[in-house]
Amino acid sequence: MRRVLLCSAITTAVMMLAACGGGDAPGAAPQGGDSGSHDPAVTAAAADGGCSWLVVSNPDLINVAFPDESATYWVAMFPALPGTRVRIDGQYPDARYFSFNVYDPALRPVDAITDYQLVPRVAGSNPYVTAGAAAGGAYVATVQFGDPPAERPANALYTNRIALPVLPAIPNLQITVIYRVYLGEGDAAGGVPLPQLVLENADGSVAPLRLSLCDPLPPDGLPSVLNRAIREASYPSLLDPVPYPLAPDEPRVIRFYGLPETLRVLASNAVGFDLPLQSITAADTGGGFLSNIDNAYVTAMASREHGDLYMVRARAPRYARDPVEAPLGSAQLRYWSICTNEFVSQRFVGCLADAQVATDDQGYFTLVVSDPDERPDNAVPQNGMDWLPWGGAYPDSVLIYRHMLPSPHFAEAIQNVPYGTPVEDVMGEYAPKVRYCDRATIEAASTAAQAFAACGE
């Protein structure tokens, strides 16, 4: 029976793994004190319930729902059993960022807890709050079944309810938890063991099921063959572009709010005019595609019908060299990145993290997206221009630009764009502009700024 349940969970997790989205982060938890009480002897006596983490992201096999190449995602799933909770015993990784998000069956995040909000077992040992604290300090968190109380205890996540249109919300009975680590040092997990999960009574007195730290699927060390082939391929020159009505004639940069609004925008592109359904789609802006509450996104879609190359340009935000710098410090963002993706498969083709992006003397980044055989010779970081592959097999390209954990003083963050507001009205010069262009125009320019300006003529 246990094997059947485990196989079922693995299959479901493979189908559901993802990593994108947006929302507002919960407030920071205070430092100090024991973040959870439990008896190690109780845990040791618990029955072995299989693996803590069933599935891990992989560029070839588990590359769905628009993930970020600089992040690794581990998935766990549980039934919501009344009177129980899931305890998370973990160590702070050496990484730019980590978090736990809880989801409903509609793939929307219902709660989250982030590195700087996790109270350590030993005061002052959270390196995301205390500058100079070493990685490896311990924390204990819990996933509680039900709605959060008015006063939330430290280090607790809640399964909440499933929001339904018109109808009352219903209990969330199938729990999916995703553990994210961005830019881990040493290994993908940041040089520490993966968190261990224990199913226990709600008061922590009895732990009937301990989930082991076995290797998640797919196995580690598999070579990236498929994604590399997609990156390195160019669209056949003798083949006419495939019609792609979901993309507008000119790329439009919009904020991602959730699946309903995304579908409205795509349908509007297909019919050629803006469908007036905002009164419906505005009711569900809680993300989707297993989004991360700490991220917000703007996106743009391009089609080979309108051009095989496009450029992106915006002022680059200041990112946190040390995690303590955002959202609690002087940096504008904890992290940002830009990726090329494909809509139907939801795969990333290529990504650049903030530290990999070149900027010019004006503080702007400029990105060229094309097939390898159309890459301009001057699209190199030394010239203030980066390049990402379109993906030779794909008729479309979805650009995704992420902002993570903005500091309160960064008013131009994507997170601050209200529903229905043009992104440039809030983001100003930080809002990316996207234009179709061609190789010859870019190669004729002396600077990245001149190339982008020439593409708009």
Tell me the residue ranges of DSSP E strands in 166-274.
170-171, 174-182, 196-201, 209-212, 254-255
Q: Are 376 and 455 in contact (CB under 8 A)?
A: no
Q: Are 309 and 443 in contact (CB under 8 A)?
A: no
Q: Looking at the predicted structure, is the pLDDT value of residue 29 above 60?
A: no
- Residue 219 pLDDT exceeds 60: yes
- Whether the pLDDT of residue 118 is over 50: the answer is yes
Q: What are the start-end ranges of the H helices in 111-225?
A: none
Residue 181 is predicted with a pLDDT of 98
Task: Identify the residue with better confidence: 28 or 429.
Answer: 429
Residue 398 CA to residue 403 CA, distance in Å, equals 17
Closest CA to 383 of 356, 351, 355, 361: 361
Q: For residues 223 and 58, what is the distance between their CA atoms, to the nearest angstrom?
A: 10
SS3 assignment, position 72: strand
For 338-393, the pLDDT digits (tens) are 999 999 999 999 999 999 999 999 999 999 999 999 999 999 999 999 999 999 98
DSSP string, 262-284: HHHHHHHHHHTS----HHHHTT-
Spatial distance between the Cα atoms of 62 and 49, rounded to a whole number of angstroms: 24
Residues 263, 267, 269, 270: what is their CA dihedral angle, to the nearest 10 degrees?
140
**Which one of 99-113, 153-167, 273-287, 362-376 scores highest in mean pLDDT?**
362-376
Alpha carbons within 13 angstroms on the beta-carbon side of residue 376 total 31
Average of per-residue pLDDT values in the chain: 86
The predicted pLDDT at position 276 comes to 85
CA-to-CA distance for 385 and 387, rounded, in angstroms? 7
Is pLDDT of 1 > 80? no
Distance CA 366, CA 332 (A): 19
Whether the predicted pLDDT of 10 surpasses 60: no
Q: Does residue 32 have a pLDDT over 70?
A: no
Reply yes or no on whether the pLDDT at 303 is more than 80: yes
Q: Distance (Å, rounded) from C-alpha 252 to C-alpha 162?
A: 32
Contact, 184 vs 192, CB < 8 A?
Answer: no
**Size (the chain), residues:** 457
Helix (H, G, I), strand (E, B) or coil at 180: strand
In this prediction, residues 297-313 reach a mean pLDDT of 96
User: 457 exposed, middle or buried (CB, 10 Å; 0-12, 13-18, 19+)?
Assistant: exposed
Report the phi/psi class of residue 377: left, alpha or beta, with left for phi > 0 and alpha for psi in -120 to 50: alpha
Q: Is 174's pLDDT higher than 70?
A: yes
Report the alpha-carbon distance of residue 13 to residue 2 in Å, rounded: 16
> Which residue, 230, 266, 359, 293, is CA-closest to 101?
293
Does 2 have pLDDT greater than 50? no
Q: Which residues are CB-neighbours of 450 under 8 A, at least 6 positions away?
A: none
The three-point CA angle 429-368-243 to 5° equals 105
Query: b/e map of 197-230 (b: 16 or more CB within 10 Å)?
Result: bbbbeeebeebebbbeeeebbeeeeeeeeebeeb
Residue closest to 142 by CA, chosen among 94, 189, 199: 199
| CATH numbers and ranges of domains, the chain | 2-212 (no CATH), 226-256+291-455 (2.60.120)
Percent of the chain with pLDDT over 90: 61
The whole-number pLDDT of residue 376 equals 98
Tell me which DSSP letter residue 358 carries.
-
Which amino acid is residue 196, in one-letter code?
A: Q
Q: What is the pLDDT of residue 208?
A: 65
Strand partners, 386: 367
Q: What is the pLDDT of residues 396-450, one digit of tens each?
A: 999 999 999 999 999 999 999 999 999 999 999 999 999 999 999 999 999 999 9
Q: What is the pTM of this model?
A: 0.87
pLDDT of 338 reads 98
What whole-number distance in Å separates Cα of residue 99 and Cα of residue 80?
21
Residue 46, pLDDT > 70, answer no
Choose the weakest-confidence range: 332-336, 393-397, 450-454: 393-397
Cis peptide before 149 (omega within 30 of 0): no
Mean pLDDT over 267-284 rounds to 80
Q: How far apart are CA 286 and CA 244, in angstroms?
A: 28
Residue 13 CA, chain-centre distance (Å), reads: 17
Most confident of 154-168, 218-232, 278-292, 362-376: 362-376
The answer on pLDDT for 28 being more than 50 is no
Tell me how far apart the alpha carbons of residues 178 and 100 are, in angstroms, rounded to a whole number.
Answer: 6
Whether pLDDT at 182 is above 70: yes
Q: For residue 175, what pLDDT is reported?
A: 82
- The overall longest dimension of the chain from CA atoms, in Å, is 71
